[in-house]
């Protein structure tokens, strides 16, 4: 390569880098969203931590006041028609002592791996359909699913600490590696939402979530049309192929998901826009939560602050961190409180969550 060609290539690369940086994730004015976390007793158990004590430390010491909890179907209905809400009840009772408000996630798709939580008493052909399409196509699953959704909505119908419902978790995300490409039919989501709304005398808002990798993914529009609150799950470093190769969906210039545009569209319809998951734990192959050598590539106190800076520019009125259980594991098992301390500082500086409300424009 001649010197002239080399210089032209360097100039072109520099211009490309500059162009890619001039998008909302660097240029939009930062907002001041309220903060929350997702929490799962399944995750604390996987990390060897006690659930209730870990949750109480999180709300007491970090100052968390908004929490997403899955009412996991397989745990809630261990036998057909027999419901057990004791685990969720216990966490809500702990949270109530500190003024915590909850968004409860119902549906066959819940928070965290393995994502699908159909109970084992359903026939195997129902729990593992052969096609990579609509997971809820079998009427036996749909009927049982609606029975559990109705029972959950009835159980928490008058609970003052439940401020919102989330129906399904990322129902339109095709996750081939973990759930074999199954998605949830929009008609099934509509039926669950209608049942929740009909059962809830307090008319609390309904959240539907998505997780876009690029601007070309427009399935969030289906979620927005159905919901009172559109939630986007935002991971700024996504592993692909190996622990050494990552995609940065929020550094893609014109291909970056246009979260401020989603927020504006939601506001124009009298709805809210939240980031329901913001990456706050390691990402990688194998068991990255327990392997400290991997984590610095995807999360650290400084990266947590960087990720929140992007979230603040998105137009979201709320941001829920994903990974709070790992903060506790780092502090209590690895004797490294740096993530917990960083989170405590961020929560102390953030505004208190305003209780979620139903849309300002009639559906």
User: Does CATH number 3.20.20.80 belong to domain 30-349?
Assistant: yes
Residue 12's pLDDT is 41
Residue the block writes with tokens 């953030």:
350
Contact in structure between 224 and 271 (CB atoms under 8 Å) = yes
pLDDT value, residue 139: 92
Question: Any residues with CB less than 8 A from the CB of 359 and at least 6 apart, and which?
Answer: 205, 228, 269, 270, 271
Spatial CB neighbours of 164, under 8 Å, sequence gap ≥ 6? 103, 104, 204, 205, 206, 207, 229, 356
Q: For residue 354, report the phi and psi dihedrals to the nearest 5 degrees.
A: -85, 130
**pLDDT value at residue 171:** 95
- Determine if residue 107 is left, alpha or beta; phi over 0 gives left, psi from -120 to 50 gives alpha, anything else beta: left
DSSP three-state, residue 264: helix
Backbone angles phi, psi at 63, to 5 degrees: 90, 25
> Which pLDDT score is estimated for 247?
78
pLDDT for 282: 86
Longest CA pairwise span in the chain (Å): 76
Bridge partners (DSSP) of residue 242 are 240, 245
311: which 2 tokens?
């979230």
Tokens representing 348 are 């102390």
Domain-wise residue ranges, the chain = 30-349
| Tokens 């050494």, residue located | 244
Neighbours of 9 (CB within 10 A): 11
Burial class (CB in 10 A: 0-12, 13-18, 19+), 130: exposed
Show pLDDT as tens, one digit a residue, over the chain (363 residues): 555 554 444 344 343 444 455 699 999 999 999 999 999 999 999 999 999 999 999 999 999 999 999 999 999 999 999 999 999 999 999 999 999 999 999 999 999 988 899 999 999 989 888 766 688 889 999 999 999 999 999 999 999 999 999 999 999 998 666 566 788 999 999 999 999 999 999 999 999 999 998 999 999 999 999 999 999 999 998 777 666 677 788 998 999 999 999 999 999 999 999 999 999 998 765 565 655 555 566 789 999 999 999 999 999 999 999 999 999 999 999 999 999 999 999 999 999 998 777 665 444
d(CA 258, CA 171): 20
What's the DSSP call for residue 82? B
- If phi > 0 it is left, if psi is from -120 to 50 it is alpha, else beta; for residue 316 that is beta
Coil, strand or helix: which one is 34? strand
> How many CA within 13 A on the CB side of residue 234?
32
Q: Please state the three-class secondary structure of 223-288 as a single string.
A: HHHHCCEEEEEECCCEEECEEEEEECHHHCHHHCCCHHHHHHHHHHCCCEEEEEEEECCCCCCCCH
């Amino acid at each position: 390569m001649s010197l002239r060609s080399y210089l032209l290539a360097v100039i072109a690369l520099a211009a490309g880098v500059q162009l890619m940086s001039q998008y909302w994730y660097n240029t939009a004015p930062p907002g001041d969203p309220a903060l929350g976390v997702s929490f799962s007793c399944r995750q604390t158990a996987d990390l060897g931590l006690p659930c209730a004590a870990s949750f109480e430390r999180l709300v007491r010491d970090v100052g968390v006041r908004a929490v997403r909890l899955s009412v996991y179907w397989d745990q809630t209905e261990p036998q057909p028609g027999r419901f057990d809400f004791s685990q969720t009840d216990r966490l809500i009772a702990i949270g109530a002592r500190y003024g915590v408000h909850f968004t409860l996630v119902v549906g066959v798709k819940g928070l965290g791996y393995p994502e699908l939580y159909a109970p084992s008493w359903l026939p195997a052909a129902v729990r593992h359909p052969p096609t990579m399409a609509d997971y809820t196509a079998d009427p036996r699953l749909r009927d049982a699913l609606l029975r559990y959704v109705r029972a959950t909505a009835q159980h928490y119908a008058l609970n003052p600490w439940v401020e919102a419902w989330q129906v399904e978790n990322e129902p339109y995300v095709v996750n081939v590696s973990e759930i074999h490409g199954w998605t949830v039919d929009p008609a099934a989501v509509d039926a669950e939402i209608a049942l929740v709304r009909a059962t809830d005398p307090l008319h609390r808002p309904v959240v539907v979530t998505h997780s876009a990798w690029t601007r070309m993914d427009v399935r969030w529009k289906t979620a927005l049309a159905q919901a009172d609150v559109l939630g986007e799950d935002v991971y700024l470093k996504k592993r692909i192929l190996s622990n050494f190769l990552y995609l940065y969906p929020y550094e893609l210039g014109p291909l970056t998901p246009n979260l401020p545009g989603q927020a504006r569209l939601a506001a124009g319809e009298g709805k809210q826009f939240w980031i329901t998951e913001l990456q706050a734990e390691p990402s990688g192959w194998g068991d990255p939560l327990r392997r400290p050598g991997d984590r610095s590539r995807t999360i650290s106190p400084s990266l947590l602050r960087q990720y929140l800076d992007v979230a603040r520019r998105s137009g979201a009125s709320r941001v829920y961190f994903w990974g709070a259980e790992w903060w506790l594991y780092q502090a209590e098992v690895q004797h490294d409180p740096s993530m917990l301390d960083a989170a405590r500082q961020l929560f102390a500086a953030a505004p208190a969550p305003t209780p979620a409300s139903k849309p300002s424009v009639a559906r």
